[in-house]
């Protein structure tokens, strides 16, 4: 953005909204947050306090402070003077459309409204809006105060200029921004995750492997490479001098055979009990909150290492 806003409104302060609030505070913004839920303010402030050591480690912008947070249950007051609005309400179209209408009744007409929706269509979200041209997708990944990725997409009525402004704004706060060129359910990264989840669930259901071993197969195998280079660059590296052309030609027949054997996502919820039991068994000897703390520590170490390696994208 040419004129970067100084105030960001966070609408909805669950886990994602709290991550966004932490992120923007860490980058020197004044943040006004709003949520009608009982106890929302205390939960938000506790989450930000818990998140703050991580963003301190990653580096605070000049003037960054938790004291720059204002909380109000008055939605209109929260968005009235905001230069950018990040909506993180429940993943229901009716809820988001109603909320957008309330936001528009109070916000400045030119202020961009970015939705954190993990899969809904921006064209549907912006339907009926007074200023649909300023409604965009800004989908983060949890923990959103640590993970840099943000997916940006416009709806059928979003202006190209506002898409460009949104991408520039997120990039100015240290996010890695990718453009979803065409609307599709689940956007990009969630679809890639869903493909893995589909096969992981199928492998458990078929008795091929346990939940624990499937988790290990990713976290101790390709997941390590994927954290550094994406799937195409990793394939390219596997091809030696011939690169990705060679490896795809070499593995193509086998991959087509594997693909024909891939499972389908279950059509009913019958599978949930067995998967949940597998997760419980995997966690029996672990302290899960401590596991997540260590995960975040390793994520930060990895981000620090990547930041110091110019040849990693």
* Residues 294 and 148 occupy one common structural domain: no
Whether 139 is covered by a domain: the verdict is yes
β-pair type (84-87, 69-72): unpaired
pTM to 2 decimals?
0.92
Owning domain of residue 221: 189-307
Query: Among the three residues 179, 202, 229, which one is the final residue of a domain in this structure?
Result: 179
Q: Report pLDDT digits (tens) over 167-190.
A: 999 999 999 999 999 999 999 999
Q: Report pLDDT digits (tens) over 241-281.
A: 999 999 899 888 888 999 899 999 999 999 999 999 999 99
Residue 133 · residue 158 · CB < 8 Å: yes
Distance CA 1, CA 127 (A): 25
* Residues 204 and 227 occupy one common structural domain: yes
* Residues 267 and 197 occupy one common structural domain: yes
Residue 300 · residue 58 · CB < 8 Å: yes
Whether 2 is covered by a domain: the verdict is no
Query: Among the three residues 179, 200, 222, which one is the final residue of a domain in this structure?
Result: 179
What residues have CB less than 8 Å from 56, skipping those under 6 apart? Answer: 26
* Residues 152 and 219 occupy one common structural domain: no
Distance CA 304, CA 113 (A): 31
* Residues 201 and 150 occupy one common structural domain: no
Whether 58 is covered by a domain: the verdict is yes
Query: Among the three residues 115, 144, 179, which one is the final residue of a domain in this structure?
Result: 179
Q: Is 80 exceeded by the pLDDT of residue 1?
A: no
Looking at the structure of the chain, the number of domains it has is: 2
Backbone angles phi, psi at 229, to 5 degrees: -135, 150
**E strand or H helix at 297:** helix 288-307
The partner residues of 33 in beta bridges, in order of sequence, read 10, 71
């Amino acid at each position: 953005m040419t004129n970067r806003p100084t105030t960001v409104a966070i609408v909805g302060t669950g886990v994602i909204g709290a991550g966004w609030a932490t992120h923007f505070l860490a980058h020197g913004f004044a943040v006004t947050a709003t949520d009608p839920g009982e106890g929302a303010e205390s939960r938000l402030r506790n989450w930000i306090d818990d998140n703050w050591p991580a963003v301190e480690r990653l580096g605070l912008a000049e003037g960054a402070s938790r004291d720059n947070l204002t909380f109000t249950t008055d939605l209109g007051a929260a968005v009235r003077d905001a230069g950018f609005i990040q909506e993180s309400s429940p993943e229901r179209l009716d809820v988001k459309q109603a909320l957008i209408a309330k936001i528009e009744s109070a916000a400045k007409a030119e202020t961009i409204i970015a939705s954190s929706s993990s899969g809904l269509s921006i064209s549907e979200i912006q339907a009926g809006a007074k200023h649909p041209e300023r409604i965009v997708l800004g989908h983060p990944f949890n923990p959103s105060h640590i993970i840099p990725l943000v997916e940006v997409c416009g709806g059928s009525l979003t202006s190209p200029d506002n898409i460009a402004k949104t991408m520039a704004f997120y990039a100015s706060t240290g996010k890695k921004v990718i453009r979803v060129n065409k609307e599709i359910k689940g956007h990009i990264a969630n679809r890639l995750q869903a493909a893995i989840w589909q096969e992981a669930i199928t492998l458990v259901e078929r008795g091929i492997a346990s939940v624990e071993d499937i988790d290990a197969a990713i976290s101790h195998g390709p997941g390590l490479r994927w954290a550094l280079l994406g799937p195409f660059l990793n394939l390219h590296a596997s091809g030696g001098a011939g690169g990705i052309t060679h490896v795809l030609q070499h593995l193509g027949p086998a991959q087509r055979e594997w693909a024909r054997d891939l499972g389908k996502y279950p059509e009913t919820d019958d599978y949930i009990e067995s998967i949940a039991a597998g997760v419980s068994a995997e966690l029996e000897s672990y302290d899960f909150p401590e596991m997540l703390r260590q995960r975040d520590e390793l994520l930060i170490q990895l981000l620090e290492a990547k930041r110091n390696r110019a040849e990693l994208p």
